[in-house]
Amino acid sequence: MEIVLSEKSYEIIVKRHALDSVDEWIATLWQNKKIAIISDDHVFPIYGDKIQQQLADYEVCHYVVPAGESSKSLTMANNLYDFLADQQFTRSDAIIALGGGVVGDLASFVASTYMRGIAFVQIPTSLLAQVDSSIGGKTAVNSSKAKNMIGTFAQPDGVLIDPETLNTLPELRVREGIAEIIKCGAISDISLWQDLEKLTGVQDLLAHSERIISKALHVKKMAVEADEFDNGARLLLNFGHTIGHAIENTAGYGKVSHGEAVAIGMIKISQTAEKKQLSPKGITAAITQMNQKYQLPTDYQPWEAEKFYTAITHDKKARGNSLNIVVLKEIGKAYIQKIKLTEIQDFLIEGK
């Protein structure tokens, strides 16, 4: 699969045991570069040595951050800038992001800003990163005010996805990735939604992961190619995220996973959309049933509308005094509804 953009195109490889040939893949992309592998303390002990050994023809170093959302910060980014400078990295060198969404967002942010930008690739090892954050060129760290508030748009040179890495994940982490797959089916691909209906559960999905990941990626590919800088059609990918990010923020980053928050957000936004006749009846029930099938949450307590509203007003999707929310026309079709920021209170109050 290839992402084709006006100024840059790159390949996404989805293949079991792809990590056995990282050296061959990198050789097609880069020559004569220093490479820094950025990973976390959960992922690097599993895959780090294997990848470094394959890259014997390159000068390779690595930096391991603590696993978890707290590493996605300006403080950690600054630590990485210092590390790269100490290793005498120049604009002709490169970064491999090896890990889940936190590592991918952090490493790509650092790559896009160090010396005004150096090359990087993504090797996502979590389902959430494989179907969502590793492609599309969004990089970010969190601020104290909002998730992903500080970031850039920077496309990788390539993305390598090995579904075998999912076998080392706790099932909780697999489930949170499934939330993003559910979202993709809900907004744009009825056939993906129907696949999810036919599968018996989490383990059955893992058995068919290459096909399911590829279908979810196709949804994001189409949105990114149509709207690289997130000003129009790509906003559809934010279904469930407006409320989801507010839940993550108010709970404290890492307390509620991104996937869990999005799962709840899809339900909460749809409940009020049905009441306001922005979505047809039955949408909320369908999403709720799908969440339950894959053991994802359907509610959040405590439901604190005022705190959520404060978090949402800092959301990067806000434009002036309005907010673009994503609602479903039907399963497989979504649209963007612009509302005043004050109206989002209705969604939060009625979502109780």
Single pTM value for the model? 0.91
* Digit-coded pLDDT (tens) for 139-185: 999 988 777 889 999 999 999 999 999 999 999 899 999 999 999 99
User: What is the rounded average pLDDT for all residues in the chain?
Assistant: 93
Cα separation, 223 vs 221, whole angstroms = 5
- Would you place residue 351 in the very low, low, confident or very high pLDDT band (cuts 50, 70, 90)? low
* 261 half-sphere exposure, CB direction, 13 A CA radius: 22
Which domains are seen in the chain, by residue range?
2-167 (3.40.50.1970), 171-350 (1.20.1090.10)
Q: What is the distance between the alpha carbons of residues 220 and 136, in angstroms, rounded to a whole number?
A: 8
Task: Check pLDDT > 60 for residue 317.
Answer: no
